[in-house]
Amino acid sequence: MLAIARPLQKMPWQPRVSLLDRYILGEMIRPFIFGFGIFTAIAAVIGTVFYLIRNMVEHNLGILSAIQVFFLRLPTFAVLGIPMAMLFGSLLAYSQLSRRSELIACKSCGVSAVRLVRPALLAGFCALLFTFALNELVAPPMAYRAIKTLEVAIQRPQPTFQTRNIFYRRFASGQLQQLFFAHRFDGEVMGQVTVLNFEQGQLREIITAQEAQWHGSAWLFRQGTYHHLTGDREYDAAETFAERRFPYPRTPLDLAMETRAPEFMTSREIYHYLQVLAESGDTKRLRQWRVQLQEKLSLPFLCLSFAVVGAVLGISSPRQGQGRAFGLSVAIIFGYYVGAFIFTAFGEGGAVSPIVASWLPKMIVSAIALGMLYHANRH
């Protein structure tokens, strides 16, 4: 029988954690580890194993390389597995305590449901911090390394930059200011470049060049032609040049050099790339990346909500065994991700803002968790 005790005598530098909190946290560790392993493995099998098997069959990917890629990708799936494991761990732990009548004993001594859920909140907060650190410091670089390892193993390396059709638009005060287009790019020099400059919506300059290269603080165009147009779109001046510098922004180069997907980037890297996209005027791509940034920032907070939901369900449903707890966890997770996918699609389509698309599903889960806790505390 679980003992109700006051906080033990602590040294000044030690955290004040009561015996009740320690006991419940201890009960949560084993199911959390079990759920973390199961959910991470399921995500990894769906997200990587089938893809690796196809590459082994079609591109003769070696078994050692496949294993290396698999383990490099594991942190990405661990990020998804932690909130799921938090739900399963708290649900099963509190169900076991309820089934052994230990929570009933606590309630008979005047311990409220809010007090009983406090250890789950503490565990959820620790999981939140760990998920955030894993998602920012470990998963992105390792996932990117996994892709590069796979490309080398199947002898199909992809350049880290855009090689063809670099297109950039610049706006100011809602009006188009510049169009920059390059047919090819080798990582340093852009080939067959065309630039159109506008003033108050009217085309004023046309520059074409065989090559263009960022040089210091400006573009160096080589073997080109410069045309200046008047208000009636007739050529006012036309000249050819061997080399000429133009003080245009380096944004086209930044766009061409960044070809990584959001999952391979930290929040800070995504934020800086968003500033580049904002200058380009590509609103569709800008919305997609903004949604991905908010998803990366909001995902760790799911640990707190799932911890409370699992704890309250465990208190209210003492008959949950391990199999039923796992099934209920899967049903809740499936329902959440279906809703989250719908909101993400709305956000990328522009129906709702990226913040609403990413945070509203988490807020709904949090509201449900608080409602369930309030109801359990009154009964």
**pLDDT surpassing 50 at residue 215:** yes
pTM of the model: 0.80
Nearest to 3 by CA among 124, 97, 133: 97
* Contact assessment for residue 156 and residue 59, using Cβ atoms and an 8 Å cutoff: yes
Q: What is the chain's Cα-based Rg?
A: 28
DSSP 86-125: HHHHHHHHHHHHHHTTHHHHHHHTT--HHHHHHHHHHHHH
pLDDT tens for each residue of 12-64:
444 566 888 899 999 999 999 999 999 999 999 998 999 999 989 988 889 99
pLDDT at 220: 94
- Which range among 44-58, 77-91, 193-207, 274-288 shows the weakest confidence by mean pLDDT? 274-288
Q: Cα–Cα–Cα angle for 19, 20, 22, nearest 5°?
A: 65
pLDDT tens for each residue of 316-368:
876 666 677 778 888 999 999 999 999 999 999 999 999 999 999 999 999 99
81, β-bridge pairs: none
Q: What are phi and psi of 242, to 5 degrees?
A: -85, -45
- Residue 232 — very low, low, confident or very high, per pLDDT cuts 50/70/90? low
**pLDDT surpassing 80 at residue 197:** yes
DSSP designation for 232:
T
pLDDT at 3: 47
pLDDT at 319: 60
**pLDDT surpassing 90 at residue 258:** no
- Residue 152 — very low, low, confident or very high, per pLDDT cuts 50/70/90? confident
Higher pLDDT, 110 or 287: 287
pLDDT tens for each residue of 112-136:
888 999 999 999 999 999 999 999 9
The domain limits of the chain are 19-156+295-378, 164-249
**pLDDT surpassing 90 at residue 235:** no
Give the mean pLDDT of the chain. Answer: 87
Which three-class secondary structure state does DSSP give residue 144?
A: helix
- Which range among 80-89, 131-140, 225-234, 350-359 shows the weakest confidence by mean pLDDT? 225-234
pLDDT at 8: 44
pLDDT tens for each residue of 305-318:
999 999 998 888 76
* Contact assessment for residue 93 and residue 24, using Cβ atoms and an 8 Å cutoff: yes
pLDDT at 217: 86
- Which range among 62-66, 101-105, 182-186, 211-215 shows the weakest confidence by mean pLDDT? 101-105
* Contact assessment for residue 354 and residue 113, using Cβ atoms and an 8 Å cutoff: no
